[in-house]
Amino acid sequence: MISMSSFKTGIRRWWANAEGSFVLEASLVFPVLLLISFLLLLFALYAGQGAIVYYETSAAAERAAFTWSNSAKELRTGAYPSGQYEGLYWRLAEDGLVSGLFGLATGSGDGMVTVAGAGTESGTEAGAGDGSEDGTGSGSGSGNSGSGLAERKLSAALRSLEASTAGEWSYRNSALVRKIVGEATSSAVPEALKRWLPAAAIHAEPAAVVVEPAEFIRTVDLIRYYGQKLRGAADGGSGAVGGEGGGEGGTDGDAYRSQAQAALAARLPS
């Protein structure tokens, strides 16, 4: 019969014996490390796909803003067929300016022009209304009067995206700031992540500001021209810019057509 002292001695020897401890610890730790490695890999794939979606959508928004002055422009190069321009007063009548100012005055979002992409409910309804066979067209959103041109430009940007990227894009013209904002959702999620989270999706919200440097310079030049004309008329002169009646270094009362022409005339000997 085993005595209590010998049993305690055997327990101490067994507890002090380190043989096989490495295998035991590895069998406990290795599954945890393997699971963490797979989670990091899935997170890296998700983050990488999110970066790709954001790059594509932000590039589409920037291209739409770059080509906003002419709907016939090619998004990637900005080239357009010779002789194809917008109407003379499209910035006033077809660029959502009136609805944008009205929405700004009322504090509501009614001034935005919204276009739904393929895969959304409004895009499906609009695609069916446009006669698309599969019912997934670029679609039109808010239906503001006079904003059809802006909707076509947004639709052109949406068509440059992949079919798996759906969402709604909006354009807001508040006279001082013209901005394109997108809310894109992509279903290009890693398959392993879809099995765990069926509703997983990648979201991106790109934005781009529409700027037209040439039009801004023309507007400033026009304001300066009429400002000088009005100032000359108020002073009792002829009002000609650069003329003797206007009082600014002209010759024979003729108006200069540009500042460069006036500078050239000033350098010539009298």
pLDDT tens for 112-131 read 667 665 554 444 344 434 43
Specify whether the CB–CB gap between 118 and 166 falls below 8 A.
yes
Is-contact 141 129, C-beta < 8 A? no
Residue with more model confidence, 110 or 6: 6
More reliable by pLDDT, 194 or 72: 72
pLDDT at 208 exceeding the cut of 60: yes
Q: Are 113 and 141 in contact (CB under 8 A)?
A: yes
β-pair partners for 167:
184
Residue 171 near residue 150 (C-beta atoms within 8 A): yes
Over residues 239-244, the mean pLDDT reads 45
Give the separation between CA 210 and CA 171, rounded to whole angstroms. Answer: 10
| pLDDT tens digits, 89-104 | 888 878 877 776 666 5
Higher pLDDT, 199 or 129: 199
Percentage of residues in the chain with pLDDT exceeding 70?
A: 66
Secondary structure (3-state) at 133 = coil
Average pLDDT over the chain, rounded to an integer: 73
Question: Hey, what amino acid is at 231?
Answer: R
CA angle 163/166/167 to nearest 5° reads 155
Residue 235: other Cβ atoms inside 10 A? 12
pTM, to two decimals: 0.61
- pLDDT at residue number 268: 66
Structure token digits, residue 18? 């380190």
**Using one digit for the tens of pLDDT, what is the confidence trace for 54-92?**
888 888 889 888 889 888 888 888 888 888 888 888 888
Residue 37 pLDDT more than 90?
A: yes
How far apart (Å, rounded) are the C-alpha atoms in residues 123 and 126?
5
